[in-house]
Chains A and B, each alone.
Chain A
Amino acid sequence: MSDASGPTGPAAGPDNIDLASERAESGIDVYLAELDTSLIGLAPVKARIAEIASLLLVSRVRERLGLATTKPTLHMSFTGNPGTGKTTVAKTMAEVLHRLGYIRTSRLITVSRDDLVGEYIGHTAPKTKEVLKRAMGGVLFIDEAYYLYRAENERDYGQEAIEILLQVMEDNRDDLVVILAGYADRMEHFFSSNPGFRSRMAHHIEFPDYSDRELVAIGELMLREQNYRLSPAAEATFAEYVALRRRQPHFANARSVRNALDRAKLRQAERLVNSGVVSVEALSTIEREDILVSRVFDDNRPGS
C-alpha cells in the first residue's frame, strides 16, 4: 500500500485532480489497513487488491470527467489450496468494491454447484437466474467452480448454468462481480475446457500457502480474538505442531490451524474442570500439554 500523496507532482487545481483526498474520502485506506493486520501473509494478494482499489479510484475520477465510457471488468478467479483465505479475501473485496462505488452493496453471496445446477431438465435455468438476481449489486462467490463442469457427462446440467453465468457476466458488467474460487490445478483444467470464462476473468489471483511462521501468527491472532493466549512453552510446541501437521495428509493451512486450536481449547477445558479451582489467568491460557496430546505428535514422539 503506497502513500498516495507523493512529495513531487503538480499541485491540485482545476486541471489537477487531488487523488489523495479522493482516496481519503472513499475511506478505502481503513479497509486496506484492516486487511493488512487481520490477514497474515498473502503479500501478493494484498498488493493486487491495492492495485484494484487504485484502478477503481482512477476510473471513478475519469468517469466524472467524462474520460471513461465503460467501467472496468472485475470478475476474478481466486486459486489456492484450502484454508489460504479465499473466502475471507472475497468478503474484503466486496467491501472494497462497495466503498469505491463499483457495486451497490457489500453483499457477498457464496454458492457452490448445488446452488446453481438443478436436478432435472428445466430446473437449472430458473435456479441459476434466481441466484444471479440476488447476487446482482454485490459479489457472487462460486466456491469450487470447477464442479460446474463435468467433462465425463456431456448431458450434465452444469453446462447450462455455465452458459447463463457467462451471459449475465457479459451483460451486467458494471453491476455484478463474479469470483470463481478453487484449487489451482483444477481451475486451470476448468478454464481450459471453458475458454469463455478465462477471457471474461480480468484478474487471476493466486493464494500462496502460508509459511510455518505465518501459520503460527495466524493461530495466535485467532486466539487473541477469542481472548485466549498460548503460554510461552505452548508457543514453541505449537510451532512444532504446525511443522509436523503440514507433512500430514489433508492439510488445509489456516483451517487446520483453527481446528487444532479448537481441539486444544477442548482439552484445556477438560484439564481445568478436572483440576477444580483455577485462576482467572488459567482460564484463558492454553498450556503445552493441551497441544502435545495431539495425534500429530504420535509418530514423532521421542521413543515411540
Chain B
Amino acid sequence: MRLTQGAFSYLPDLTDEQIEAQVNYCIDHGWAVNIEYTDDPHPRNTYWEMWGMPSFDLASARPVLDALQACRESFTNHYIRISASDSEKGWESLRLSFIAQRPAVEPGFQVVRSNGPGRQINYTTRSYATDQPPEQRYRDV
C-alpha cells in the first residue's frame, strides 16, 4: 500500500529535478529546509529522525540534494521526507512537506478492532512494517 503523506503524495514519486525545483521554491521563500527519515510510517508518527541540522540561509538547492543523497545511501529502504519551515511572524510553522524516498515494498496498514465495554468497538491502525524491530523493517528487498 502506497503511503500518502504530505504534499504530492498522490502523484508519481518526484524525480531529483522535481525535488530540486521544490527545494528552490522553498529557498526563494526563505524557508528552512530539513531532511527527515523514518521506518515507522504510522500517520501519527509526526516526529521523524532528523538528518543533520535544518538548512538555513541557502541560495541553492544543491547542498540539500547532496544531503538527501547521503541520507539515501545510509537509509536505502526508509521513508525520507523533505520539509520546509517558515519563520515569518504569523506563520512560524511548517509550510511544505513531501516524501523524497520510500521503501521498495510498503506492506501497508492493518485495521485493528478491539472490544470495549458494552460491545463498543474501538478502531486503530497499525503498520505491518512495525511488526519487526527497527533494524529489520523493510529488509526483505
Q: Cβ of A136 and Cβ of B63 under 8 Å apart?
A: yes
Cα of A172 to Cα of B63 in the assembled complex, Å:
10
By size class, the interface of chain B is 10 to 19
User: Nearest-CB distance from A93 to chain B (Å)?
Assistant: 15
Cα of A109 to Cα of B64 in the assembled complex, Å:
19
Cα of A172 to Cα of B61 in the assembled complex, Å:
12
B85 within 8 A of A: no
Chain B residue, CB-CB nearest to A132: B63
Cα of A3 to Cα of B84 in the assembled complex, Å:
46
Q: Cβ of A107 and Cβ of B62 under 8 Å apart?
A: no
B58 within 8 A of A: yes
Q: Which residues of A contact B60 (CB under 8 A)?
A: 103-105, 136-138, 175-176
Q: Cβ of A105 and Cβ of B62 under 8 Å apart?
A: no
Cα of A175 to Cα of B27 in the assembled complex, Å:
15
A133 within 8 A of B: yes
Which residues of chain A in 172-198 are interfacial with respect to chain B, using CB atoms and an 8 Å cutoff? 172, 175-176
User: Nearest-CB distance from B66 to chain A (Å)?
Assistant: 9
Chain B residue, CB-CB nearest to A172: B62
Count contacts on A: residues with CB < 8 A to the other chain.
14
User: Nearest-CB distance from A175 to chain B (Å)?
Assistant: 5
A224 within 8 A of B: no
Q: Cβ of A137 and Cβ of B57 under 8 Å apart?
A: no
Per-position 1/0 for A85-126, Cβ under 8 A of B: 000000000000000000111010000000000000000000
Q: Which residues of B contact A62 (CB under 8 A)?
A: none
Q: Cβ of A133 and Cβ of B24 under 8 Å apart?
A: no
Cα of A107 to Cα of B27 in the assembled complex, Å:
13
B9 within 8 A of A: no
For B55, B57, B58, the residue with the greatest tally of chain A CB atoms inside 10 Å of its CB is B58
Cα of A136 to Cα of B58 in the assembled complex, Å:
7
B141 within 8 A of A: no
Q: Which residues of A contact B57 (CB under 8 A)?
A: 134
B59 within 8 A of A: yes
Cα of A176 to Cα of B27 in the assembled complex, Å:
16
Q: Which residues of B contact A176 (CB under 8 A)?
A: 60, 62
Q: Cβ of B62 and Cβ of A135 under 8 Å apart?
A: no
Q: Which residues of B contact A132 (CB under 8 A)?
A: 63
Per-position 1/0 for B31-73, Cβ under 8 A of A: 0000000000000000000000001011111110000000000
Beyond the given A105-B60, A136-B59, A138-B60, could you list 17 further A-B residue pairs with CB under 8 A, ordered by the A residue number?
A103-B59, A104-B59, A107-B59, A132-B63, A134-B57, A134-B58, A135-B59, A136-B58, A136-B60, A137-B27, A137-B59, A137-B60, A137-B62, A138-B59, A175-B60, A176-B60, A176-B62
Closest 7 CB pairs of A and B: A137-B60, A137-B59, A136-B60, A133-B63, A105-B59, A138-B59, A107-B59
